[in-house]
Amino acid sequence: MTQAFNTKVASCPGCGAPITFEVGSARVRICDHCRSAVARTDRGLENLGKVADLVPTGARLALGLRGKLQGHAFRLAGRIQMEWEQGVWDEWYAVFDDGRFAWISEAQGRYTVTFRHAKRAIPPFEKLAPGQVIQLERLGRFVVADLEQARYLGAAGELPEAVPLGGAPVPSADLSGGEGAFATIDYSDPDDPQLYAGREVPFEALQLAGGAELGSVAQPRISSAQLACPRCGGLLQLVAPDQAKRVTCPQCGSLLDVDQGKLVYLTTLKKQELPFQLGSKARFFGVTWLLIGWLRRRCRVDAVDYDWDEYLLYDPKSAGFRFLVESDGHWSWAESIGAGDLEQGARGVTWKGRYFKLFSAVQAKVVGVLGEFYWAVEVGETAQVRDYVLPPEGLSYEASRAEVNWSHAVYLQPEEVATAFLEKRPLPHGPGVGMMQPNRFRAQFDASRPWAWVGAVLAIAIYIAAGVGGHKVVFSGPLGATPPATLSKSEPAPAAPSVPTSSDAAVAPGLPGTGAPATADPSSAPGAASSTAPAEHAPTPDQPWAGTIGFSEPFQIESRRNLEIELGSSVENGWAFVGGELIRTSDDVVRPFYLETSYYHGVDDGESWSEGSQAASTFMGRVEPGEYVLRGELGWDPSKTRPNLTFRLTSGVPRFTHLLFVLVILAAFPLVTWLRVSAFEKARWEESNLEED
Partner 1 sequence: MAKLYKVVVLAVLALYAAVAFSGWEMESAAQKPQPPSVRTSPGGYRSFHFWHTGFHGGK
Applying CB under 8 A, the residues found at the interface with partner 1 are 443-444, 447-448, 451-452, 454-455, 458-459, 462-463, 465-466, 469-470, 487, 489-492, 514, 536-537, 543, 545-546, 560-563, 574-575, 577, 579-581, 583, 587-594, 596, 598, 600, 612, 619-623, 633, 637, 651-652, 654-655, 658-659, 662, 665-666, 669-670
Distance between CA 329 and CA 428 in Å, rounded?
Answer: 6
Closest CA to 528 of 564, 572, 483, 570: 483
Residue 502 CB, nearest approach to partner 1 (Å): 25
Q: Determine the residue type at 272.
A: Q
**For residues 475 and 575, which CB has a smaller minimum distance to partner 1 in the complex?**
575
Residue 322 CB, nearest approach to partner 1 (Å): 33
Residue 619 CB, nearest approach to partner 1 (Å): 5
- Using CA atoms, how far residue 631 sits from 143, 284, 483, 593, in Å, is 87, 80, 9, 10
Question: Does the bond joining 450 to the residue before it have cis omega, within 30 degrees of 0?
Answer: no
**For residues 141 and 442, which CB has a smaller minimum distance to partner 1 in the complex?**
442
Residue 80 CB, nearest approach to partner 1 (Å): 58
Neighbours of 654 (CB within 10 A): 18
Residue 569 CB, nearest approach to partner 1 (Å): 13
Helix, strand or coil for residue 72? Answer: strand
Residue 436 CB, nearest approach to partner 1 (Å): 23
Q: What is the dihedral of CA 151, 153, 156, 162, to 10 degrees?
A: 40
Distance between CA 168 and CA 533 in Å, rounded?
Answer: 126
Residue 440 CB, nearest approach to partner 1 (Å): 10
Neighbours of 558 (CB within 10 A): 12
Residue 112 CB, nearest approach to partner 1 (Å): 45
**For residues 476 and 488, which CB has a smaller minimum distance to partner 1 in the complex?**
488
- Using CA atoms, how far residue 454 sits from 288, 449, 469, 664, in Å, is 45, 9, 22, 14
- In contact, 506 and 646? CB cutoff 8 Å: yes
**For residues 355 and 594, which CB has a smaller minimum distance to partner 1 in the complex?**
594
Helix, strand or coil for residue 485? Answer: helix
Residue 542 CB, nearest approach to partner 1 (Å): 9
**For residues 619 and 685, which CB has a smaller minimum distance to partner 1 in the complex?**
619
**For residues 340 and 568, which CB has a smaller minimum distance to partner 1 in the complex?**
568
Distance between CA 298 and CA 308 in Å, rounded?
Answer: 6
**For residues 222 and 443, which CB has a smaller minimum distance to partner 1 in the complex?**
443
- In contact, 198 and 114? CB cutoff 8 Å: yes
Residues near 659 by beta carbon (within 8 Å), at least 6 away in sequence = 459, 460, 463
Residues near 244 by beta carbon (within 8 Å), at least 6 away in sequence = 238, 258, 372, 373, 374
Residue 495 CB, nearest approach to partner 1 (Å): 9
How remote is the C-alpha of 325 from its chain's centroid?
Answer: 19
Helix, strand, coil percentages (3-state) for the chain, rounded to 5, are: 15, 45, 40
Distance between CA 641 and CA 273 in Å, rounded?
Answer: 95
Residue 661 CB, nearest approach to partner 1 (Å): 8
**For residues 327 and 650, which CB has a smaller minimum distance to partner 1 in the complex?**
650
Distance between CA 631 and CA 287 in Å, rounded?
Answer: 84
Residue 459 CB, nearest approach to partner 1 (Å): 6
Residue 685 CB, nearest approach to partner 1 (Å): 24
**For residues 396 and 673, which CB has a smaller minimum distance to partner 1 in the complex?**
673
Residue 659 CB, nearest approach to partner 1 (Å): 8
**For residues 265 and 669, which CB has a smaller minimum distance to partner 1 in the complex?**
669
Residue 519 CB, nearest approach to partner 1 (Å): 17
Give the DSSP letter string of 560-600. SEEEEEEEEE--SSEEEEEEEEEEETTTTEEEEEEEEEEEE
- In contact, 95 and 24? CB cutoff 8 Å: no
**For residues 587 and 691, which CB has a smaller minimum distance to partner 1 in the complex?**
587
**For residues 337 and 459, which CB has a smaller minimum distance to partner 1 in the complex?**
459
How remote is the C-alpha of 517 from its chain's centroid?
Answer: 77
**For residues 130 and 527, which CB has a smaller minimum distance to partner 1 in the complex?**
527
**For residues 150 and 546, which CB has a smaller minimum distance to partner 1 in the complex?**
546
How remote is the C-alpha of 279 from its chain's centroid?
Answer: 34
**For residues 27 and 676, which CB has a smaller minimum distance to partner 1 in the complex?**
676
E strand or H helix that includes residue 649 = strand 645-651
Residue 521 CB, nearest approach to partner 1 (Å): 16
Burial of 445 (0-12, 13-18, 19+ CB in 10 A): buried
Distance between CA 323 and CA 327 in Å, rounded?
Answer: 13
**For residues 190 and 621, which CB has a smaller minimum distance to partner 1 in the complex?**
621
Give the DSSP letter string of 461-479. HHHHHHHHHH-EEEEEEPP
**For residues 11 and 543, which CB has a smaller minimum distance to partner 1 in the complex?**
543
Distance between CA 64 and CA 170 in Å, rounded?
Answer: 28
Q: Which backbone phi and psi does 391 adopt, to 5 degrees? A: -50, 140
Distance between CA 504 and CA 11 in Å, rounded?
Answer: 134
Neighbours of 545 (CB within 10 A): 19
Residues near 491 by beta carbon (within 8 Å), at least 6 away in sequence = 483, 526, 527, 551, 631
- In contact, 45 and 27? CB cutoff 8 Å: no
Report the largest interatomic distance among the alpha carbons of the chain, rounded to a whole angstrom.
Answer: 152
Residue 500 CB, nearest approach to partner 1 (Å): 20
- Using CA atoms, how far residue 182 sits from 57, 89, 518, in Å, is 22, 16, 104
